[in-house]
Chain A
Amino acid sequence: MLPRLCSLIVKELLAALKDPKARFLLIMPPLIQTLLFAFAVTLEVNNMTLAVQNLDGGKWSYELIQRLSASRTFTNVIAVESEEQIMRALDEQLAIAALSIPQDFSRAIEAGIPADVQLLLDGRKTNTAQIVAGYTEQIVGALQQELSGGEQGNVVLIERNWFNPNLNYKWFTLPSLVAILSTLIALLVTAMSVAREREVGTFEQLLVSPLRPVEILLGKAAAALLIATLEATGIILIAVYGFRIPFEGSPLLLYSSMIVFLLSIIGVGLFISSLSMTQQQGILGAFTFMVPAVILSGFATPIENMPEWLQFITLGDPLRWFLVIVRGIFLKGMPAADVAANTWPLAIIAVITLSAADILFRKRME
């Protein structure tokens, strides 16, 4: 059985890589997307406008405004006079947030008693608002800390962004891309593979060979696994050497969890492929899976912000688990126990998708 399987794997690799169209599809989009995501998708919040209602007029209120406008977050600070103006500024999206400094702000600081500032945020832009709030808190916090002379005197809320102290979005996107693009590759390779054989008429020829259906699936899965792992390695190298993203964790852990992850995706791909009569249908099916999988993965929007029933659904999304692993291993050297905790759900998903593909494959033969 083993030599039979080897011949099949070699054939699958050749078939996937010798077809110029397929080769293009496997190499160009990931490369372009790596660069595109790295440069164009900005999850960082810059160039924002802040509205400030300064009722205080004292030294400390100016200090605070100075510090805020010096940050990269707010390139534009506009002064507003009244509550109505604040409302208008937010309503008409002139500003992402409005800071209201009360009359006794400077006095309270001088006196060393707690001083309140109010930050109103445009909740329609949840993510941005959250980040802006974080930044503002940071700046306010820094000022407060200076005032208290480094002591933890007052109740100071400091939100620090761990592991990515500068909130550099590339640190965040590129490791995620390893997960997303290897998903894309594994899906495409498998989704097209059975369909391609159906389309060009080699499927029957393959079926009448001594290969058993499960061997055919194994061969296709192995080839896809090889190709996707190879591409993931390429992206990791680009991230580490091209964009200088720190790689803190163990490559061994990353690769072992990646194999489990890719198997769960390959199961989905083979399932789609068994269902498709043509490669086109296969590609369409792959994207039908891909888009919700990315959205539910927590790549672009935090899972915690989703409604609960949707959060529950995300548990079945392999990307969700692997994103945690890949970011964790890249940025904070995630320990083995944590990796394992995120890998066993992947193993369950893999078992389910692969057996579903196997069952469907046999059924569709009839």
Chain B
Amino acid sequence: MTSAAVSVVQLTHFFDHSELPALDGIDAEIRAGRITGLVGPDGAGKTTLMRLMASLLVPSQGKVTTCGFDTRCDPGPIRERIGYMPQRFGLYEDLSVIENLRLYADLRAVFGRQREEAFERLLAFTDLKNFTSRLAGRLSGGMKQKLGLACALIRRPQVLLLDEPSVGVDPISRRELWRMVRELVDEEMAVVWSTAYLDEAEQCDEALLLNSGKLLFSGAPGALTQRVSGRVAQVRGLPENVKRLTLARLLNHPRVLDGIVQGAALRLLLRDVSDVEVAQLDLPDGAELIPVSPNFEDAFMDILGGGPGGKSELAERYDSLADDGKPVVVAQGLTKRFGGFTAVHDNSFSIRRGEIFGLLGPNGAGKSTTFKMMCGLLKPTEGIGKVAGIDLRHAASKARNRLGYMAQKFSLYGDLSVRENLRFFSGVYGLRGAEQRKAIEQMIEVFELGAYVTARAGELPLGFKQRLSLACAMMHKPDVLFLDEPTSGVDPETRREFWNHINGLVQKGVTILVTTHFMDEAEYCDRIGLIYSGEKIAEGTPEELKQRVASDENPDPTLEDAFISLVRASHVERSLVA
């Protein structure tokens, strides 16, 4: 085997302002001819490590050698030999596709015939040939990433560093990106692909798993999943109404290490391989335990020693909301046109009390427009939206008082303290005096925020930020909770804790609307509406959607498979009509 393209030895890195290292004692090697996945949740240190490899940062301790040069003393030759695609779109939005390419060619000193050839090759490779004069800012998420990739490849690099290329990219474009990068790799090129999506790790030849600055694993992804083989199983055949209760109970079971909802089934990670019987888990009649092949996330949870259990203090203290049988959220023929452009066309759905409904679709499909209409922020051109029986056309503010909202991005006031945030949001939702104080104290207790009440919200550890966001959304005891990609990029432990709360709240009759393009979030939903190009192209339980695309070649499709097939089918149908 050739020598390492990048080698990292005893690397520890500190940023001035924090006492904890961003990276702690990392040893790793990256080899040519392979895609190495840099895998870990947000804040794990992926970008820092990548920037150290690119010689953009100088390590505090230890040594990084890229292409045979020390990043500390020889940044010049390294930069000539690497291609780096940063996380935040590193292109000029006001320049066209070809102008961006030209700029990068100038910067890399690629001229003359060599340049023409490079452009020809890259435009063909990225399929951007027909869009050369379009402004980069006007490209879709997937096309932007392709252009970013093309710019990083102007001069064929020895090491290609891709920082979260699949963020903000829909599953279809994501598969394309993977295919493209796979094509690129040869004996001379090493690719580093960082990602917060654990399922991507399995597509890498090699994976480095980072968590809170520590390297938890390095090696072939299969070697990691090996450690949990025989311990992962699905519980199927559960009656719908006891699914979440069963999960909450199982998560506290001594033989269960971890568990999540997967459509109608539960996925369990067992503590040991000894064959567990259905009876031992006190499963209800008709339920069966079927072994399934383990994935990267199962193994990650195993390394972490399991999840946070199944208890939700928040849900336990929540007052039960009575079910009168009427739907809590209703959309009837929602349509929104902006000038000549139809963002949403005739979208209808209704959500029962205590149901989790997901709006699933790629970016720009009309999810957020639908979502905004359901909050009363946008007036629909046609159609009606109702929340908790209140028509949004007439009493949007009143309707908003009945709903809570939580977004993926931490969207509280970072300069305000935890208590100031809680006070603000409770005040805005009309809580006052003793009631307000009680609600705040309760949230501090439930989410164990006691140690942080005076800390600036922006400086909280990620997990606590997530808790505070949920606390701010729930203080006024809403009937309905709207979630916008609530757990993307969040570490699996925090994600489990979050869904514990949601599962518990649903038991108490809280109704949930989730908008997302992440499959694992969609798996938690009771029903999914699939949105594409402004229209709902399918609706059903995750199981039903999967069944619709099941075929002989793929008898057990994943939700992502279902998503891609359904979107493609709708696309074909549409071009036939046109």
A219 to chain B minimum Cβ distance, whole angstroms, is 9
B375 A15 Cβ-Cβ under 8 A: no
A30 to B402, CA, bound (A): 44
B409 A8 Cβ-Cβ under 8 A: no
* Among B405, B414, B427, B432, contact of A204 (Cβ-Cβ < 8 Å): B405
* Among B378, B412, B430, contact of A3 (Cβ-Cβ < 8 Å): B430
A356 to B45, CA, bound (A): 46
User: Among the listed stretches B227-235, B285-293, B298-306, B418-426, which one makes contact with chain A, having 4 or more residues with CB under 8 Å of it?
Assistant: B418-426
Q: If A8-B428, A11-B420 touch, does A201 touch B378 (CB 8 Å cutoff)?
A: no
A205 B411 Cβ-Cβ under 8 A: yes
Excluding A4-B429, A7-B427, 17 further A-B contacts by CB distance (< 8 Å) are A3-B427, A7-B423, A10-B424, A11-B424, A14-B413, A14-B416, A200-B414, A201-B407, A201-B410, A205-B411, A205-B472, A210-B397, A211-B397, A211-B428, A212-B397, A365-B378, A366-B338
Q: 8 closest pairs, A vs B, by CB? A: A7-B427, A208-B405, A210-B401, A18-B415, A201-B411, A11-B424, A205-B411, A210-B400
A14 B407 Cβ-Cβ under 8 A: no
B residues less than 8 Å from A8 (CB atoms): 424, 427-428
A6 within 8 A of B: yes
* Among B411, B412, B423, B429, contact of A210 (Cβ-Cβ < 8 Å): B429
B427 A15 Cβ-Cβ under 8 A: no
B84 within 8 A of A: no
B482 within 8 A of A: yes
A152 within 8 A of B: no
Contact with A along B345-389 (1 / 0, CB 8 A): 000000000000000000000000000000101100000000000
B375 A207 Cβ-Cβ under 8 A: yes
Chain A interface size range: 20 to 34
Q: If A4-B428, A7-B427, A209-B425 touch, does A19 touch B415 (CB 8 Å cutoff)?
A: yes
B438 within 8 A of A: no
Residues of B bordering A, CB below 8 Å: 338, 375, 377-378, 396-398, 400-401, 403, 405, 407, 409-416, 420, 423-430, 432, 456, 472, 482, 484
A residues less than 8 Å from B398 (CB atoms): 210
* Among B401, B413, B416, B427, contact of A6 (Cβ-Cβ < 8 Å): B427
A27 to chain B minimum Cβ distance, whole angstroms, is 16
A209 B411 Cβ-Cβ under 8 A: no
B residues less than 8 Å from A210 (CB atoms): 397-398, 400-401, 428-430
A338 to chain B minimum Cβ distance, whole angstroms, is 42
B416 A15 Cβ-Cβ under 8 A: yes
B483 to chain A minimum Cβ distance, whole angstroms, is 11
B12 to chain A minimum Cβ distance, whole angstroms, is 29
B378 A366 Cβ-Cβ under 8 A: yes
A207 to B376, CA, bound (A): 9
A11 B405 Cβ-Cβ under 8 A: no
* Interface members, chain A 171-210 (any B CB < 8 Å): 200-202, 204-210
A200 B428 Cβ-Cβ under 8 A: no
Contact with B along A241-267 (1 / 0, CB 8 A): 000000000000000000000000000
B428 A208 Cβ-Cβ under 8 A: no
A residues less than 8 Å from B427 (CB atoms): 3-4, 6-8, 10
Closest chain A residue to B377 by CB distance?
A207
* Among A201, A209, A365, contact of B409 (Cβ-Cβ < 8 Å): A201
A200 to chain B minimum Cβ distance, whole angstroms, is 6
B413 to chain A minimum Cβ distance, whole angstroms, is 6
A208 B429 Cβ-Cβ under 8 A: no
A278 to chain B minimum Cβ distance, whole angstroms, is 13
* Among B403, B410, B416, contact of A208 (Cβ-Cβ < 8 Å): B403
A residues less than 8 Å from B401 (CB atoms): 210
A residues less than 8 Å from B338 (CB atoms): 366
Closest chain A residue to B414 by CB distance?
A200
A208 to B513, CA, bound (A): 14
